[in-house]
Amino acid sequence: MKRTTSVLLTAALTTGTAAVLAAAIPGVASANACGVIPIDQNSFTTAFDTKDTRATGHNDIKVDNPGALRVWTEGTKSTDKAAAYYGGLDVALASQTALTNYSLNYQGTPTGTLPGYQLVVDLDDDGTADGILIGEKAYGANWWLSNATPQEFKDKAPHKDGTSGAAQGGAHYGTLDEWVTAFPAADITAFGYSLGSGVKNDLLIDSITFGCNVVDFGYTNTPPTADFTWAATATDPSTIAFDATPSADVDEVNGDVLTYAWDFRDGTLGTGEKVTHKYNAPGTYAVELTVTDRFGATAKKLIDVVVARPTNTAGGTPLPGTGANVIGLAAVGGLVLAGSSAGLVATRRRRAGSGAHAA
C-alpha cells in the first residue's frame, strides 16, 4: 500500500462540479467516465508533454521508486525546472471552480518549495491556449496567470497589483470564480505541474487529481529471463559447476538484484548465482533454475545435464585402460605396495609356515 499525503490547494471551497475528462486520456471510455488512469514509465512519455522541463530538471518513473513519479531538480539555476502537462482537453473552466478538483498527491511528507498545479487555458475559446493559471498552496484560493501570457489577457485579470505580485505568485491573479467572470468562455486544455525554475527539490508524486479522475503513476515491471551454463569440473566429472550469469533483468540498470533457486533433480536444491553440485550417480538430470526479481516476478530455465561416471584414479591419477585401480589389484594378488620417490614397489607377503621370505 502506498503512503500518500494529499496536498490540496486549500482555501475556502468555491462552487463547481467535478471535472470529467474527455476520452483523450487513456483508460477513460467516454466523456462521462471517471476513475483511475494508470500511467507508467512507457505511457508517461506519450501522455505528458515535458517540453518545458529544462536541462537540470527531471521527471522519472523508475524501478527505484516504482509507485510514484519522481520530480526533481539538481540545483537552483535557471536550468533547474521540471514540468509536465497532460493535454488534448476541452473542459469548461466554469464547471471546474472547486479547489477540490485539483491536487498533487505525494508519497511521504513533502518539504521545501512544492510544484504548482498548472491549468493551461484557452481564455477566449478560440482553440488556442493563451496562458497558464497556476495554483500554489501558499496563495490560498488565488490562481495567478503566467508571465508569458499576452498582455491583452493580463489586462482583463481580476486583480492587477502593478508590481511583481510576489504576495500572490504573480501580478495578475484571482480565484477561479473570478477568472470565470473575467473570461466566461474559458476552457482548460491541459493540466499538470511545474517545479522551478531555480528551485531545488526532490519529490515523489503518487498521483494527480483532476476533477473526478486520478492519474496514478507507477512502474510496470518486466519479468526477468533465466538461463545458465554448466560444466563438469576438471578433477571429477560427477561434480558440476553451474553459472546463472546469463540470466538478466532489464529493469535493473544499477545492479542485479535477482535471486536464484536450483533444483538439481536428484532430490537436492541450491541457491546462488554460481554453485557446484556433486551427483552420486551418473545419468541425465533435467536441472531447473528459477530466478526471481524484486517484484516477485519469476522465470525458469530447464536444461538436461549429463553426468558421467567418476574416473578411477590411483593417488589422484587416472589409470589408463583399466576399470579398476592399482590398490584394488594389489589387494587381490596379496601384494604390498611401498611408495618411494621412484614410484611404487610391489612385494608379496610371506605365507605363514612356508619358510619363504619375500624377495
Domains of the chain, by residue range, sit at 4-217, 229-307, 316-348
pLDDT of residue 304: 99
Q: In whole angstroms, how far apart are CA 189 and each of 24, 26, 81, 127, 130?
A: 11, 16, 22, 9, 10
pLDDT over 70 at 233, yes or no: yes
Burial class (CB within 10 angstroms; exposed 0-12, middle 13-18, buried 19+) of 161: middle
Nearest by Cα to 173 from 182, 55, 68, 291? 182
3-state secondary structure of 153: helix
Helix (H) or strand (E) holding 132, with range, is strand 131-135
Q: In whole angstroms, how far apart are CA 335 and each of 319, 328, 341, 359?
A: 18, 10, 19, 12
Q: Which CATH superfamily is domain 229-307 in?
A: Immunoglobulins (2.60.40.10)
- Alpha carbon distance 302, 164 (integer Å): 69
- Alpha carbon distance 103, 27 (integer Å): 20
Reading the block at residue 37, the C-alpha cell is 488512469
217 pLDDT band, cuts 50/70/90, is very high
313 pLDDT band, cuts 50/70/90, is low
pLDDT of residue 255: 61
Buried b (16+ CB within 10 A) or exposed e, 114-133: bbbbbbbbbbebeeebbbbb
Residue pair 100/86 in contact by the 8 Å Cβ criterion:
no
DSSP result, 203-262: EEEEEEEETTEEEEE-PPPPPPB---EEEE-SS-TTEEEEE-TT-B-TT-TT----EEEE
Other residues' Cβ atoms within 10 Å of the Cβ of residue 224: 23
Largest interatomic CA distance in the chain: 133
Other residues' Cβ atoms within 10 Å of the Cβ of residue 139: 19
24 pLDDT band, cuts 50/70/90, is very low
**Residues 6-14: what's their mean pLDDT?**
34
- Alpha carbon distance 339, 357 (integer Å): 20
Nearest by Cα to 71 from 1, 21, 118? 118
332 pLDDT band, cuts 50/70/90, is very low
Which amino acid, 85?
Y
**Residues 196-212: what's their mean pLDDT?**
97
pLDDT over 80 at 347, yes or no: no
Q: In whole angstroms, how far apart are CA 14 and each of 8, 19, 173, 175, 211?
A: 14, 14, 16, 9, 14
Q: Is the pTM of this model over 0.95?
A: no
- Alpha carbon distance 289, 215 (integer Å): 39
pLDDT over 80 at 317, yes or no: no
pLDDT of residue 33: 62
Other residues' Cβ atoms within 10 Å of the Cβ of residue 261: 16
168 pLDDT band, cuts 50/70/90, is confident
Phi, psi of 180 (to 5 degrees): -65, -40
Residue pair 279/287 in contact by the 8 Å Cβ criterion:
no
Give residue for cell 526533481: 72
User: Percentage of the chain with pLDDT > 90?
Assistant: 70
> Which residues is 191 bridged to in the sheet?
86, 119
Which amino acid, 354?
S
Reading the block at residue 164, the C-alpha cell is 511583481
Which amino acid, 223?
P
- Alpha carbon distance 35, 33 (integer Å): 7
**Residues 321-331: what's their mean pLDDT?**
43
Q: In whole angstroms, how far apart are CA 174 and each of 149, 155, 157, 180, 183?
A: 15, 13, 7, 10, 12
